[in-house]
Structure 1
Amino acid sequence: MAAEDGTAQEYVPQKKNKEPTETEKRRKKIVPGSLMKAEIRPGGGDARPSDGDQVIYHCTVRTLAGVVVESTRSEYGGKGTPIRQVLGKSKMLLGLLEGLPTMLRGEVAMFKMKPQMHYSEEDCPVSPPSSFPRDDELHFEIEMIDFSKVKVVSDDLGVIKKVIDEGQGWESPREPYEVKAWISAKTGDDKVILSPKQGEPYFFTIGKSEVPKGLEMGIGTMTREEKAVIYVTNQYLTESPLMSVVGLEEVQFEVELIHFTQVRDMLGDGRLIKRRLRDGKGEFPMDCPLQDSLLRIHYKGMLLNEEKTVFIDTRIDNDGQPLEFSSGEGLVPEGFEMCARLMLPGEVALVTCPPDYAYDKFTRPANVPEGAHIEWEIELLGFEMPKDWTGLDFQGVMDEAEKIRTTGNRLFKEGKFELAKAKYEKVLREFNHVNPQDDEEGKVFLNTRNLLNLNVAACHLKSGECRKSIETCNKVLEANPAHVKALYRRGMAYMEVGDFEEARSDFEMMLKVDKSSEPDATAALKKLKQKQQDVEKKARRQFKGLFDKKPGEIADAGTDDRGEEQSTSENQKNDDQEDSNGTDTEDVEDVANEPREGLFSRLWPTGRRLFSALGLRRCAIL
């Protein structure tokens, strides 16, 4: 409703009532006089613990008559190990939850608690020890040993880290990084297990269970040169070859992280491994080489044999000149480029590479045997980013597009279809920001975009992704339903997946829209007919006699007429890849020579083997 003065009233959203936390709900139940505190020994400083702080304290519980009920102190029958909890996260008695935040470091205080402030609280989260006088008013003597901010590593508070000295950088070690660290350890009652800085630092690999699980989890949150105490409870004190801590209740590890080596399992199977020997400059991955960057690299190549035979060193064999290459163009072995593109300028990495990602599928140096495992030591000196198309005029854009498309054509001819597709798709992405200014530019732009889409479709077809090839051809045909090359390529893709009617429709449409395409369309229709005949003949051979018997008669399952003449398939017509002027850059063979079998014919051999296993060689037509 409008205000009386005619001005609009501003809408003020109502604040939602915040749901109280469990701690707040518990504190509301406190009755005045149910918790009393008396200071026995003053503490130091003025800081007090708050939520999120780890508190370490000794606790002795007595009756009002002075009889000790339980204690953490050894002189009163306890284990001598202080209690360690995190305020706001650990399950605690209500009296301690309210009383501990009032204490100073080193303070000793006596808390007098009514039963509802300790174990007689309704829905108390802590179970009382056996024979504990839960219904009595008790004295809790608390010595606040220490408190500090901590990082909770595991949700169950089994692993907690307290930072002593901050580290450098942002990166923390993770699987399968290699770690070098000084480590000492003691139990909760200060019994030394591992002496500090005696002998050599520990060296281990994250993820290989070489140190207890909790210690590994804590180190996984540290940065270089950080020093921290990692508190680990027994469920995370797993067996490890480097230190024996199984069976202990709790261990405090003091860790100084000297260094860690970034290790990347590039394939996820342990075959292609990149180890960073020297850090680079910049932020990962923003400052790494992108696709189409020009990289400058010094590298040394070695055979992974006993002698570590060096077969190339650019600092020696290349007159001291570094290797320069553009990424994404297949100019270096695949494993080499995969690792180089994850490096920062100035970084040095050691790469171990299997043969299929080294030189078995690349031009092999004369002194590298076939099937050789390779180790490269790579230093990324620097790189140039790909050219920014922003600000280019239309002709400049088309010139850059032509350069990249030409590279894609070369990669296609070399059989590197994924790399070729990446080049074509890069240009298509850039074309999303191009706006032709007149009809002539619009015509050139549309033709080039269509050719690029058809080249992408050709890459999909060669990679066996026929459905994607069809989808890409559809992009061209949506704008121009009479595009002959798109009809032809889509028809070939339809034929490969067994959609013969759709393929026939595309080939027949070619004849209607462009008489000059008659030779290609006629040959395609002939090939289509042959494929259909091959599929039908194969089906007839597999099911011959199975369904032409009268009820009750027996037919052989899966008999094959060996005397039937095998059909000869027509020589495969070469598929075409588009060039900028509409001609073909190369003739390429069809993706598959074998006709696609129908569902029944594909399932029958499996069924026949099943019948044979059951001893059923013949079946009756009922």
Structure 2
Amino acid sequence: MAMALPLLSASRRWDVELLEGGSDGEEEAAEDSGPRLPWGIRKTLLQEGASEDRPVTGDEVKIHFDVRLLDGTAIGSSKESGPFEFVVNQRPREIIQGLEIAVQTMKKGEVAEFTIAPRFAYDDLGSPPLVPPDATLVFEIELLQWQNKLDVLGDGRAIKTIQQRGSGSTRPRRGQDVVVSLEITSRKGEVLQKKSATDHVVGEKDFGPVSDIISEVLQTMVAGERCKVLLRRFAGDKIVDSAHSGATVDVLLERVYVTSDLLPEQSGLLIKKLLSDGIEDPPRDADLVELRVDRVFTGPQPTQTVLLEPKVLSFSLGSGDVCDALDFAAAAMQVGEEAKIVCRSPLNFSDVQLGLASDLLEVTLQVKLLSVRRESPGPGLLLAEQCKDRAAKAFKEGRYRFALEVYRRLKVAFHRDEAAKQFCNLCELNRAACFLKIGRPHEARKACSCVLDQDPENQKARYRRASAEFQLSNYSAALHDLHALLKQQPTNSEARTLADQVRKAQRAYSQEAKAAAARMLGDRSDKTAAQEGDSEDGSESACVRFRALARNLLPCLPSLRALKT
């Protein structure tokens, strides 16, 4: 007769985790028997299985079993009542732990015999009248099939069933880029939504009312996995709307991107999404690279194709012969590597060869680095001067980020060379100019301070640091640098003009501060003021006298501030 296998205290006391590797049982066990069995469970393979996968935690398995005592007494079978079903490692546990452990070592269609010690069965309690205390059980199990089912939200709204296991090893996190295909079908069979190979950021609202559920589902998947999710709606539900009640979502996670921000400031303007790895080290400045651009898409959701046929570009890295985005991308790639490069304005990615106009806000380039010809470096400083000239040209053309990157590479290459210290200071000054142009005054101030630490009399460093302080509204610090500069060079017209601008901004700030202080003190209505000001003996209240004193002091605020500075 069929037998239920209840949970007893023994299962709770002897919880164990399976380890990778072969069985610790008899030599009869198959070499590839899955996770290693703990001491107390012995497996004998009777019939090979047909699949490569094995059940894991959360899988709903269906088995046939015969169970007997060591003396051969039969105590249960599923053959007459039909297959026995349970969920592996479900809490609270529904079956003895030894049976759960056993099926995790089996393949679909496999038949095996397991000898299970009392501690993984019913221990010293037994299960009267069939199982005596301290009984060792012998199971003959046939694994018929299994399905992985997961309650994604934990409340029955979204039940996930794996249709195809993936090959990936990591699950995407919220905010990570993936490629996903999905189809949502209503309970009546109507297709509500369909997406194919869509780039998606986990957590974004790309899939309408069910976006939050899709986000949670994706975080339980690995690359290559396909699953179905059954949606259920509760009364007054705000997560699953009426249109999706009873709907089925077929989800395929095609790829989980490894992404990297290629700009030093990590601004998100140039993102690389790795498609396939390459070999060798990335190219260096002046190396001749061959880069193939396979496809070009425009817009945040890349739908419109600009480039119809692949185009191979040959250029010297750092030469400025291609747009900034491609130069930066090539510098971060290996030979044979394929990637998607997402470029966003204001980064320069306009390119006549690729048909990219300067007014585009976002472009996605699919590229492959075909080859790198390593150029033997010439005289160091001579080559560096040539690179600096290219950066200066790019600066004049408004390609500030490209010039900034060239100066950064030069500084990294020569920062340990004592003979090139003056050259490195010049690169740092030019980096400060680039920072000011792209609205990064903190970095500009830091670069100028580095130069002034080594050369306190450097006039350009003084002027550019003053410009950075001005952008940061640090007017006193800006005037301090400008006064020091004008002592060195009294006829510097640019410094005088900037000093006038700083003083004007400082006066405007003082006026705004006075107005804010007045608003904070506040003027009551005439009626309220009269009520506060009149007392029984006709004298003014302390409140009115204080306000009058404050109004008299307000005009003195600028002079007090100047005295303090």
**TM-score between both structures, scaled by the size of structure 1:** 0.48
- Quote the residue 1:466 is aligned against: 441
Distance 1:213 1:502 in 2: 49
Q: 2:314 aligns with which of 324, 344, 348?
A: 324
Q: CA deviation at 1:299?
A: 5.4
Given residue 332 of structure 1, which amino acid in structure 2 is its aligned partner? Answer: V
SS of the residue corresponding to residue 176 of structure 1 reads strand
Q: CA deviation at 1:295?
A: 3.0
Are 2:139 and 1:142 aligned?
yes
Spell out, residue by residue over 1:413-443, the C-alpha distance to the aligned partner (whole angstroms, 9 max, x if none): 222222211111111111123243xxxxxxx
- Quote the residue 2:476 is aligned against: 501
Structure 2 unaligned runs (5+)? 1-9, 17-24, 38-52, 56-60, 145-149, 155-160, 183-194, 201-205, 232-245, 524-541, 548-560
Distance 1:370 1:404 in 2: 28
Q: 1:423 aligns with which of 401, 406, 412?
A: 406
Are 2:496 and 1:532 aligned?
no
Are 2:480 and 1:491 aligned?
no
Q: CA deviation at 1:399?
A: 0.9
Aligned CA distance change for structure 1 residues 407 and 76 (closer, same or farther; 3 Å): same
Structure 1 unaligned runs (5+)? 1-21, 29-36, 148-152, 181-201, 223-229, 241-245, 249-254, 316-321, 437-444, 556-597, 599-622
Distance 1:271 1:469 in 2: 20
Distance 1:397 1:298 in 2: 30
Aligned CA distance change for structure 1 residues 537 and 475 (closer, same or farther; 3 Å): same
Spell out, residue by residue over 1:73-111, the C-alpha distance to the aligned partner (whole angstroms, 9 max, x if none): 3x242435598789xxx9985666999999999776575
Are 2:454 and 1:454 aligned?
no
Q: 2:372 aligns with which of 357, 370, 383?
A: 383
- Quote the residue 1:176 is aligned against: 178
SS of the residue corresponding to residue 178 of structure 2 reads coil
Q: 2:454 aligns with which of 434, 457, 479?
A: 479
1:170-249 map, 5 Å: 176-177=178-179, 220=222, 237-239=228-230
- Quote the residue 2:81 is aligned against: 77
Spell out, residue by residue over 1:191-234, the C-alpha distance to the aligned partner (whole angstroms, 9 max, x if none): xxxxxxxxxxx985687999x99998998466xxxxxxx8x9xx
Aligned CA distance change for structure 1 residues 247 and 112 (closer, same or farther; 3 Å): farther
- Quote the residue 2:237 is aligned against: none
Aligned CA distance change for structure 1 residues 376 and 482 (closer, same or farther; 3 Å): closer
Distance 1:176 1:102 in 2: 32
Q: CA deviation at 1:402?
A: 0.8
Distance 1:521 1:543 in 2: 33
Distance 1:101 1:548 in 2: 76
Note if contact 1:450-1:476 (Cα within 8 Å) is conserved in structure 2. yes
Aligned CA distance change for structure 1 residues 509 and 551 (closer, same or farther; 3 Å): same
Distance 2:475 2:343 in 1: 44
Q: CA deviation at 1:501?
A: 2.4
- Quote the residue 2:121 is aligned against: 118
Q: CA deviation at 1:348?
A: 7.8
Aligned CA distance change for structure 1 residues 545 and 406 (closer, same or farther; 3 Å): same
Note if contact 1:329-1:411 (Cα within 8 Å) is conserved in structure 2. no
Distance 2:464 2:348 in 1: 34
Note if contact 2:65-2:139 (Cα within 8 Å) is conserved in structure 1. yes
Note if contact 2:278-2:337 (Cα within 8 Å) is conserved in structure 1. no
- Quote the residue 1:296 is aligned against: 290
Count the aligned residue pairs. 433
Are 2:438 and 1:434 aligned?
no
Distance 1:93 1:411 in 2: 73
1:157-168 map, 5 Å: none
Note if contact 2:400-2:438 (Cα within 8 Å) is conserved in structure 1. yes
1:563-578 map, 5 Å: none
Q: CA deviation at 1:494?
A: 2.0
Q: CA deviation at 1:532?
A: 1.8
Note if contact 2:336-2:371 (Cα within 8 Å) is conserved in structure 1. yes
Q: CA deviation at 1:450?
A: 1.9
Given residue 445 of structure 2, which amino acid in structure 1 is its aligned partner? Answer: I
SS of the residue corresponding to residue 470 of structure 1 reads helix
